[in-house]
Amino acid sequence: MKKKSAPKSAGSSATPQELIIQHIGLAIECAKTAKRHNKSLNGSNHYADKLANLRADATNAFGRLSGGTVGDTSALAEMMQKVFAGDVAAKDRSQAARDLQFALKTTWAEVKPDAVKLEDGGIFPLVALNQTKRAYLVAVGRQMNGSYTSGWHDASAVMMRRLLESVIIEAFEARGIDSKIKDGNGNFFQLTALINAALAETTWNLPRNVQKGITSLRDLGHTSAHSRYFLAKQLYIDELKAVYRETIEAFLHIARLL
């Protein structure tokens, strides 16, 4: 029996369209394998974590595209949501995958990566924050990405901290339980207490990577904002970018903003 060769991975020279198409195939395969093993694509397990990482990578690639109309961009974002969401029926995921690949090979085939806008690259894709329709989240993300790309890593880490605080609050507010993260005067807790409350909350299940990595995100934000002698370096941020993206996305999904 002829052994199947492993699919070629897209290299650093791959276009955003090629990267997204590659991630679509991996997402479909992940969903099929999870179904065979009777595993959910929501919650905390290997397959849910893998799909979340694929979604983050595909969204980041999408964020590198520019020049599409508002309508085309919204349509593409909606198809991507169906392909990479954990709670989509198999037939709907497959149809969205076909439609998405067709759009990338036709309407979006000649759209070039945007290498001009610094705020579109970096730590978290603005295209995902735009989907939330929360202007303040987009503004924070733009400053965070722009600072990172400009080499202002302490500033970027502080804005990472601010965005993390914001999405946790959004999650609690969306579920109508924001009283759990307020003090006696009605003020929201600061980051450490917000994280403790988010980890202890029983109305949602955070992905395993988020549970393990969120304290490291807290520490980077704290030291960048408050430590007298600490200077953040790109390496420190790069080590946490993957878990940061997954964490922000997790809380945005809990808040029903994605």
Res 118: pLDDT: 45
Angle at which helices 208-226 and 153-174 cross, to 10°? 130
pLDDT tens digits, 170-192: 999 999 999 999 999 999 999 99
Distance CA 49, CA 12 (A): 23
Query: CA separation (Å) from 40 to 83, 171, 222, 250?
Result: 15, 22, 35, 16
Do the Cβ atoms of 149 and 141 come closer than 8 Å?
A: no
Mean pLDDT of the chain: 85
Domain 119-254 indexed as CATH 1.20.120: yes
Distance CA 67, CA 110 (A): 10
The domains of the chain are located at 16-105, 119-254
182: helix, strand or coil: strand
Do the Cβ atoms of 244 and 145 come closer than 8 Å?
A: no
Q: Within 13 Å, how many C-alpha atoms sit on residue 134's CB side? A: 16
pLDDT tens digits, 192-242: 999 999 999 999 999 999 999 999 999 999 899 888 888 899 999 999 999
pLDDT of 66 over the 80 cut: no
Do the Cβ atoms of 237 and 123 come closer than 8 Å?
A: yes
Res 126: pLDDT: 81
pLDDT tens digits, 131-150: 888 888 988 888 898 888 88
| pTM recorded for the entire structure | 0.58
